[in-house]
A and B are shown apart, each in its own frame.
Chain A
């Protein structure tokens, strides 16, 4: 840029020099001629002073005229240059040249500048075209080489674009996909009421952009005669200038989810087969207990209770088996609600009373009065208490006591401890006590059990945001403890999230009738 300006300046200087020399020659020539016609005009004594003044004035006017002349002559060039600067992206703040002030060469300059501007707009268009072309090519390329099915929808949820993976997924041609409504092509079934259209409705009402994911969406493809499962990500963008309001990306998980289903259904069926005779056993024991009350001697009554307790234990065991299967398949779901802990804990302890009684063990409850409401999945924490008590009973010897305490800790959470005076746990075994199916070697032969209880209890307590721990001394007994968070703390968490309740992955489906809630 600078060298052009320099050139214009040089051009101006040269013209000025040229004009000056020209004028000197003209004046000099005139002087010589005048001298020839009238000798001594400049050399007479009185004329010398006048001549010097005249020559001085002549030089001054020559310089002035040359300067003005050169300026006028180079003006059109400067104007054209200014026009170039005006359209150049680097110097776009240069004003457009004002041609009204231009006298000399206005027509030429106007034509030239018009051409410059035209040229510039052509270049501009070509550049824009090239850019948009590469953009289209790029997005098409990206979308089509994306192995994930993807669709872009407009405001009416009609399909504006479907990539190749999507067409293949649906088994359709582009021509009979684009322009169709997405609900006609994707018959989606969601696992709960938080569906795609619910989300979209909410997003449209109060969001500018929104993004959401769904898991295990079921899709029926009647044309392909198959059912597929996928995880879905959808993105909403209000008032997108190109009309792309919604984008959906599908992650097909059919293989994984159907395998999970099969694995689960095997366990579920096995448990069902176990549960049917168990229901009958418990039912008939119930009848006997009712009918024979007061008719049996102490020993027989004891046997009856042992039978009942054993059936109860078996029922709890089948539930544990299911829980582990669910946990392993990421299907353990906890729904945390505001619960009063005292009645919950009392109910869970009462459930275990018979089992303790038939082993000659006394359960002592010691619950503080000032416990805050906790955030818990009632059925699951009931199970935690049952599992910990079950262990305490197993590892206690006849005639001993088990003390259940519950109190508020310094940080405001609710801690519950279950203390037994049994054989205790050797130090070497303490580290992996909560691992799956871990049972201490020397206990293996003496006490039954699968070791699932502690593993599950830990999963459930952790999912509640609490801790589970153990203190033990061999020969003196063990204390298991766990904490649960007060509901107020969870309520803060609730406000932050979009969910109506906190759902965490872990268990939650055995509904004990005594804790049934709607």
Chain B
């Protein structure tokens, strides 16, 4: 089940973090709530998709290797306009898995951002999110 973490000093923005590595989500939650975001963490791809489709988030952090359905499939469903007409959230891929160039550029085209988790610290993630919204 998803878990919601509120911020002590909210800025009124909601982040959905689809991530199955608990330690990573813990780090991201810490940095994000500190920066004023309310963060919902979901470990499962299918449930993550359902939450995303409720369109209550401003930012979706999407890991590609998650259970039930992969992040790539979640992304595809979210970008399908008949299924998800106007999603207002920005979708940021956060992954450590490298794709083949063609697959990667295809993902990049559909997403609003693509980050390699090993190359950024949680605080750098916060900095990045502040630049896209």
List, in ascending order, chain A residues with CB within 8 A of B21's CB.
Answer: 276
Q: Mark A483-518, 1 if CB is under 8 A from B, else 0.
A: 000000000000000000000000011111110101
A5 within 8 A of B: no
B105 within 8 A of A: yes
Report the bound CA distance from A512 to B65 in whole Å.
20
Residues of A within 8 A of B117 (CB): 275-276, 279
Within 8 A of A (CB), among B1-56: 21, 23-24, 27, 30-31
Q: Is A204 an interface residue (CB 8 A)?
A: no
CA distance A483 to B24 in the complex (A): 40
CA distance in complex: A290, B31 (Å): 10
Asked whether A513 and B101 contact (CB < 8 A) given A280-B24, A282-B121, the answer is: no
A434–B96 alpha-carbon span in the complex (Å): 29
Known: A286-B122, A286-B123, A511-B115. A191 touches B24 (CB 8 A): no
Q: Determine whether the beta carbon of B112 is less than 8 Å from that of A283.
A: no
B73 within 8 A of A: no
Total number of A-B contacts with CB less than 8 angstroms?
90
Asked if A333 lies at the interface with its beta carbon under 8 angstroms from chain B, I say yes
- The CB with the most chain A CB atoms within 10 A, among B105, B118, B120, is that of B118
Q: Is B125 an interface residue (CB 8 A)?
A: yes
Tell me the smallest distance from the CB of A453 to a CB of chain B, in Å.
17
| From A268, A283, A326, A511, residue with most partner B Cβ within 10 Å | A283
Partner of A272 from the list B97, B114, B123 (CB cut-off 8 Å) is: B97
> Does A331 sit at the interface, judged by CB under 8 A?
yes
What 0/1 readout, one digit per residue, does chain A (269-282) give for beta carbons within 8 Å of chain B? Answer: 10110111011101
A252-281 Cβ-contact flags toward B at 8 Å (1 or 0) = 000000000100100011011011101110
- Judged by a CB distance under 8 angstroms, whether A342 is at the interface is no
A189-229 interface (Cβ within 8 A of B): 191-192, 216
Given A191-B102, A282-B121, A322-B98, list of 15 further CB < 8 A pairs? A271-B98, A272-B98, A276-B21, A276-B117, A278-B118, A279-B118, A282-B120, A286-B31, A286-B122, A286-B123, A326-B101, A331-B101, A510-B116, A511-B119, A518-B113
